[in-house]
A and B are shown apart, each in its own frame.
Chain A
Amino acid sequence: MKKEKFRVSSVFIYIVLIFWSLTTIYPIIWVIQNSFKAKDKILANSFSLPLGDLFTTANYRKAFNNLNILSAYKNSLFISSIVAIVVVVLAGMASFALVRYTFKLKGALLSLVMAGMMFPVFATVIPVYSMEVKWGIASTNNWGLTMLSVILPQVAGNLSFAIVVLTGFIKGLPVELEEAAFMEGCNAYQIFYKVVMPLTKPSFATVAIFSFLWSYNDLFTQMFYLRTPKMFGITVLLNRLTSQEGTNYGLMAAAVTLVVVPVVIVYIFLQKYIIKGMTAGAIKG
């Protein structure tokens, strides 16, 4: 009896889930299929498969011929990985303090964090750029400095979001575990490092994914800081292919495909941290 009911509701669940997954998978297929079409064919035939006359590899040939894609991938992965790591560490520390400690300025700091999330990039990028030029970081021909010049503002830009999300997660942690650790003689740093961090590993992984993603896709900042071909990230590089004579949709679809692949890989890789069971019984509700 119980088993029977279970199955009916499961069927319903799967119908809902599969329906939604169709809406999310189709766009990827659509992008990939159009990356094999010439740009003028897309407006009229975007929903048909690239077969026969429609099929062309011209977009990929163009992307690979003209551009140094590998170096761009390397730059992008470098920038975004560092941004993700730094953001997670700094935001984790700040969130922990903001959740667990009570102090006078707490309310004000939380408002500042919220405000920081709202600042539009186009309002801050120019003062930041001139500041970095003054410091001698931005606008140099040095690879390391250039990478640094774009990593720093991106870290700052992602911190607010990371703090907002991580405070939400850390609030949900049972404080008893920390008390137990305290009893055993851990100080606050050890509690953070040995109790909070491992317990919220899935949350840190999630925040890392989004920081990575936004840093990776942040075209506006990257266009401003990364200027010579050897510095380009993949998004900047592929954006240079967009045309003046109307948008080259086929090439754009190929570019999107090339941009998306690493992010999906990073996501699948980090996903193992958000999967139940991997955190091995550390969490007691």
Chain B
Amino acid sequence: MKKRILSLVLASAMVLSLAACGSKDTGSANEEPAPAETEAEAEAEAPAEQESEPAEAEAPAGPVELNVTTTFAGEDGNAQNFKNAVDAWCAETGNSVADTSATSDETFKTRVITDFETGSEPDVLFFFNGADANSFIEAGKVVSIDDIRAEYPDYAGNMNDDLITDSLVDGKKYAVPVNGFWEAMFVNTEVLDAAGVSVPGAGYTWDQFLEDCQKIKDAGYAPIACALGNIPHYWWEFAIFNHTSPATHLNVPTSVDSEQGQAWVAGMEDIKALYEAGYFPENTLSATDDETFAMFTEGKAAFLIDGSWKVGGIVNACQSDPEDPSTLDADKLAKFDVTYVPGMNDRKATDLIGGLSMGYYITTKAWEDPEKRDAAVSFVSYMTSDELVPVFAQHTASALKNAPAVDESAFNPLQVKAMAMMSGVTSLTGAVQDIFQGDCRVSTFDGMPEIVTGRVDAIDAVAEGIDAYNAQ
């Protein structure tokens, strides 16, 4: 069964919110193309795109070796897809690729930044498009999509430009996105059944959520699987989101007294209230994320807010052999569902966090190298083609104009549930923590245990973080 509509809905949902991502001060000033328009556009562009794709046979002068760095490595779900795609591209063009991809962690980010500083950056880079990219964009070490289009008009022509994130530095677009992410609430229905709670739906409110938590706690389970002392990130994001709105969520407050600052404080207070009510696991301050995730998969906790990548994690937890899908315990997997995050104020439960946080950059070094320019453009075009993007994106979002055909039969039940959940999403907003990066996070992320235990007032912690942000 092919599902085109879903992707269209997705794409249009994202247009509503993502266009606002880049502008951190103005935020809401954006025009949303109507979904119908997007669709029409997509139809119109589609044939043209298909032709421009093989047109990369612009015959490069000779075999070129491209240095490519991505995060498609190690356990990344797309590592194999990437490898196959690289091999195919090399076979097609006769070029070769020196693949220096690595798992995305702090060491990797440091390495990439250092490479740019020392002039040993790769030719093509798949990297974050938020604050992480600021330093090399400021230094002019990567080429914007518009500049590339001046020479190669079809570059990223299959993408909906409104969905490509603007740089925080100059508002230009640099990175061609592939696969996106979303953050939502996973539920263990076995626990919910035992506590007599029904699976939350689209209209889920905060008050209903509190009520459900109490029931679950009374039934002897931990309502929320979260290690506040280790990974409070997801709750931090949504708690704040509940006091802002899709239009304003990405504005970092200028001061703690501002409306936005007060919203952040209120979010922290909400987490504190949950903690005081005992809705987190008893050892939430000293447990690791792995421990609380295990509580969730083993039926000891009911709710888990996490990202789209956790779909794979849960499926793996239901397989006795992680490498062998045939060992899947279907009954166990059936107990898991994914739904919306309880909302309040201007945020509906179906307003989720998500977007396209990474993309392909072409570095200035490769662009100015006449031998490599063609190859780099051809490589990125190949990797972001209509055929390949759906392979990488799966149940997450993509920025394609031409809605990818999704073959649902290839998906497992949780992925299907995820797609159904995504089809009801009313907006996807980027994560404000991707902008609020560096030491400003310390007081409210690592300081979360101090906030919830009352050793530090939420308002002071937020103020400290904002001060650190303003000092940057």
Q: Do chains A and B touch in the complex (CB under 8 A)?
A: yes
Chain A residues proximal to chain B, CB less than 8 Å? 38-41, 43-44, 53, 56, 58, 61-62, 126, 129-130, 133-134, 138-139, 141, 220, 223-224, 227-229, 239-248, 250-251
Say which residue of B114, B294, B320 sits within 8 Å of A129 (CB atoms): B114
Contact partners of A223 in chain B: CB under 8 A: 102, 107-108, 111
In the complex, what residue of chain A is closest to B119 when comparing beta carbons?
A133
CA distance A154 to B98 in the complex (A): 25
Contact partners of A130 in chain B: CB under 8 A: 114, 117-118
Contact partners of A139 in chain B: CB under 8 A: 115, 118, 120
Q: Indicate whether A245 sits within 8 Å of B75 (C-beta atoms), given known contacts A43-B291, A129-B114, A138-B120.
A: yes
Contact partners of B316 in chain A: CB under 8 A: 39-40, 245
Q: Indicate whether A43 sits within 8 Å of B290 (C-beta atoms), given known contacts A58-B324, A126-B114, A130-B118.
A: yes
- Tell me, rounded to whole Å, the shortest Cβ–Cβ distance linking B73 to chain A: 6
CA distance A135 to B173 in the complex (A): 35
CA distance A134 to B322 in the complex (A): 44
Q: Which of B38-46, B307-315, B392-400 contacts A (4 or more CB under 8 A)?
A: B307-315
Instruction: Give 10 closest A-B pairs by Cβ, nearest first.
Output: A243-B75, A245-B313, A139-B120, A240-B74, A227-B100, A130-B118, A40-B317, A133-B118, A58-B323, A58-B321
Whether the Cβ atoms of A38 and B322 lie closer than 8 Å is: yes
Residue B190 is within 8 A (CB to CB) of chain A in the complex = no
Residue B297 is within 8 A (CB to CB) of chain A in the complex = yes
Chain B residues proximal to chain A, CB less than 8 Å? 65, 73-76, 98-100, 102-104, 107-108, 110-111, 114-115, 117-120, 289-291, 293-294, 297-298, 309-310, 312-313, 316-324
- Tell me, rounded to whole Å, the shortest Cβ–Cβ distance linking B161 to chain A: 29
Whether the Cβ atoms of B323 and A246 lie closer than 8 Å is: no
- Tell me, rounded to whole Å, the shortest Cβ–Cβ distance linking B410 to chain A: 19
A40-B317, A141-B65 given. 15 additional CB < 8 A pairs?
A38-B319, A38-B320, A39-B322, A43-B290, A133-B119, A133-B120, A139-B115, A139-B120, A141-B98, A223-B102, A224-B107, A240-B103, A242-B74, A242-B75, A245-B313
Q: 6 pairs across A/B with beta carbons < 8 Å?
A: A38-B319, A40-B317, A43-B294, A44-B294, A133-B118, A244-B76
Contact partners of B293 in chain A: CB under 8 A: 246
Contact partners of A239 in chain B: CB under 8 A: 74, 103
CA distance A244 to B108 in the complex (A): 13
CA distance A214 to B131 in the complex (A): 35
- Tell me, rounded to whole Å, the shortest Cβ–Cβ distance linking B154 to chain A: 31
Contact partners of B107 in chain A: CB under 8 A: 220, 223-224
Contact partners of A41 in chain B: CB under 8 A: 320
Looking at B110, B290, B309, B322, which has the most chain A CB atoms within 10 Å of its CB? B322
In the complex, what residue of chain A is closest to B83 when comparing beta carbons?
A66
Q: Indicate whether A244 sits within 8 Å of B322 (C-beta atoms), given known contacts A138-B120, A141-B98, A224-B111.
A: no
Contact partners of A240 in chain B: CB under 8 A: 73-74, 102-103
CA distance A244 to B119 in the complex (A): 29
- Tell me, rounded to whole Å, the shortest Cβ–Cβ distance linking B285 to chain A: 19
- Tell me, rounded to whole Å, the shortest Cβ–Cβ distance linking A146 to chain B: 11
Looking at A41, A239, A246, which has the most chain B CB atoms within 10 Å of its CB? A246
Q: Indicate whether A241 sits within 8 Å of B322 (C-beta atoms), given known contacts A43-B291, A126-B114.
A: no
In the complex, what residue of chain B is closest to A40 when comparing beta carbons?
B317
Contact partners of A243 in chain B: CB under 8 A: 74-75
Whether the Cβ atoms of B321 and A38 lie closer than 8 Å is: yes
